[in-house]
Amino acid sequence: MRLTIVLLLSAFFLFSSCNVVLAQTDAIGQAKIHPASPVYFLKSFKEVLELKFSKPDQKGLKYFEFAQRRIREVNSLTSENRADLIPPALEKYSLYMEKVLGHLDFKNANLAKKVLEYVKEHIISLDRAFSQTQNQRAKIAIRAAIFRLFKWHQSLPERLSVETKLSILPQIQEDERLICDFLSKEASSSALNDTEKAVLIERVQKCFQNLGSGRF
């Protein structure tokens, strides 16, 4: 009986209507089901099935959708005072964003633009979550995730056509500016110990050097 219920609920989550990940550019929002929810395992099972049944040329978008969901979960965990669950959610987020690089066709200028619009929202959401939590492990995880996004942007040029580079350069620079400003602000925080401050200062320097390098 329990197995039947699980399968029925899983089927419901799998086939229920949902927004296409790149259909609109509204604020990221929050997840209705997040890691603190007792039925979160159903969401994880649903994603396994989604990936299994997605076509090879759809996997890039599917991984990006999974990354989007992790950001929504971070928003929910922040508002519900469960910041202790943010670090593993962001580890999954960064993993999915790496998979996006390997599976998404960034030579498609329209697709690349749309993805970067959402990535900007990711940065803004993470910055907001950082300011709203006092959990130190969550703060460390958010700083790490944002810096990984800086490295993610560094990996973009080799995946772009010349035309796409020219069309999305302003978006990439805007995203990187947000990242650099966040890291710079945190590097001056009195709450950091000497080691954390030294690491952040180094990252800030790399970020601004990359921003002004004109690597395109």
- pLDDT digit string, tens, across residues 31-46: 999 999 999 999 999 9
Regarding predicted confidence, which is higher, 55 or 6?
55
Buried b (16+ CB within 10 A) or exposed e, 131-156: eebebeebbebbbebbbbbbbbbbeb
Tell me which residue of 46, 154, 56 sits closest to 103, measured CA to CA. 56
Stretch 175-191: mean pLDDT: 89
Regarding predicted confidence, which is higher, 23 or 157?
157
Q: Are 134 and 126 in contact (CB under 8 A)?
A: no
Calpha distance 59→54 (Å, rounded):
6
Q: Are 178 and 127 in contact (CB under 8 A)?
A: yes
